[in-house]
Chain A
């Protein structure tokens, strides 16, 4: 309902309104602030883009991660303005509740927090900034100057029911493919990120010893980073 009100009131007045959206125009007449939703939109867009700039330019990776929160929230607000509250809620649940927490976990697990300098170095920032300006300018110009086909009065649909119908009829095959992708992701991330068990490690060690020849001691063969954990034979599960 909120999305319906906001999206409805952000349309130019004078266009024929839908029969079910009388509430919007009542509110507008009541307060005399037809532009209020536009002002709010500009504030939310500034939040979105400013937080994205914080993600891109911050020197500290933790500040970048927290700026990402503002970007995701601002994008969710954009969806509310576009009369897509279901997508907005999904954005909040999955991006903020899932992806952002995952990213924060990765940040905390992979940087030494006690170090003052948490590395977030940049590689060739000047060409990157030129590319940023060129990309934003070109895309903004194309988006602003092309005469897109716009419907005069965007329709407001019953979100969840229409989406559910679509997912189980028109988009059934992509829906099932997405579920298979999620299952594969679940298995793959566990396989990639887990530690090797003792038996596998012992098998790998004997294999390496076979390859290294009889003269080398078995501990010295594995010269990778895992040797820093200490002697592998005493590692606990």
Chain B
């Protein structure tokens, strides 16, 4: 049995990132795309904290993870507000059908 080490956490981060990238690139639903972005940010966070714990030491990795969490919350709020406005305009949140920019 392999002991859990840095490489294991990096593998989890890689899988999360790949699944998030798949979600972002293939979803038609705008909320689904935002979920993929959350997955990618979580992958980055896992890597930050893992490197901070195993190879850097101290709290620096955790500080960056906390900033990423704050910015992810801000991104989700603004992104979902945009999605709601999109839905009000087009009656759909299919990103392939919202192709006009209108003031």
List residues of A whose CB falls within 8 A of some B CB. Answer: 7, 10-12, 35, 37-38, 41, 45, 48-49, 52-53, 55-56, 61, 64-65, 68, 71-72, 75, 78-79, 81-84, 86-87, 90-91, 94-95, 98-99, 102-103, 105-107, 109-111, 119-125, 128-129, 131-133, 135-136, 139-140, 143-144, 148-151, 154-155, 157, 159, 162-163, 166-167, 171, 174, 178, 181-182, 185-186, 188-190, 192-193, 224-226, 228
3 shortest interchain CB distances as A-B pairs: A143-B10, A139-B14, A136-B18
Interface residues of B in 5-37 (CB under 8 A from A): 5-23, 25-29, 31-32, 34-36
Are A71 and B39 in contact, with the CB atoms below 8 A? Answer: yes
Using Cβ atoms and an 8 Å threshold, which residues of chain A touch B55? 148-151
Are B57 and A121 in contact, with the CB atoms below 8 A? Answer: no
Are B73 and A94 in contact, with the CB atoms below 8 A? Answer: yes
List residues of B whose CB falls within 8 A of some A CB. Answer: 1-23, 25-29, 31-32, 34-36, 38-39, 42, 45-46, 49-55, 57-63, 65-67, 69-74, 76-78, 80-85, 87-91, 93-94, 96, 102
Are A55 and B12 in contact, with the CB atoms below 8 A? Answer: no
Are B49 and A136 in contact, with the CB atoms below 8 A? Answer: no
Query: Could you say which of A10, A94, A143 contacts B4, with CB atoms under 8 Å apart?
Result: A10
Query: Could you say which of A94, A129, A167 contacts B63, with CB atoms under 8 Å apart?
Result: A167
Given A87-B62, A192-B81, the answer on whether A103 and B36 have CB atoms closer than 8 Å is no
Are B69 and A123 in contact, with the CB atoms below 8 A? Answer: no
Which one of A83, A99, A149 has the greatest number of beta carbons of chain B within 10 Å? A99
Using Cβ atoms and an 8 Å threshold, which residues of chain B touch A144? 7, 10-11
A-B residue pairs in contact (CB < 8 Å), sample of 12:
A41-B4, A52-B20, A81-B4, A84-B49, A84-B52, A91-B69, A106-B80, A107-B31, A122-B26, A128-B22, A167-B63, A225-B90
Using Cβ atoms and an 8 Å threshold, which residues of chain B touch A123? 25-28, 96
Are A75 and B45 in contact, with the CB atoms below 8 A? Answer: yes
Given A56-B39, A122-B27, A150-B5, the answer on whether A192 and B62 have CB atoms closer than 8 Å is no
Using Cβ atoms and an 8 Å threshold, which residues of chain B touch A174? 67
Given contacts A102-B80, A163-B63, 19 further A-B contacts (CB under 8 A): A10-B3, A41-B4, A45-B8, A49-B15, A53-B19, A64-B32, A65-B31, A82-B54, A84-B52, A84-B65, A86-B66, A95-B73, A110-B93, A132-B19, A143-B10, A150-B54, A163-B59, A178-B67, A178-B71
In the complex, A127 Cα to B103 Cα: how many Å?
Answer: 34
Using Cβ atoms and an 8 Å threshold, which residues of chain B touch A189? 77-78, 80-81
Are B84 and A106 in contact, with the CB atoms below 8 A? Answer: yes
In the complex, A157 Cα to B70 Cα: how many Å?
Answer: 23
Are B77 and A143 in contact, with the CB atoms below 8 A? Answer: no
In the complex, A186 Cα to B50 Cα: how many Å?
Answer: 31
Are B59 and A98 in contact, with the CB atoms below 8 A? Answer: no
Using Cβ atoms and an 8 Å threshold, which residues of chain B touch A45? 8, 12
Min CB distance B31 to A, Å, is 5
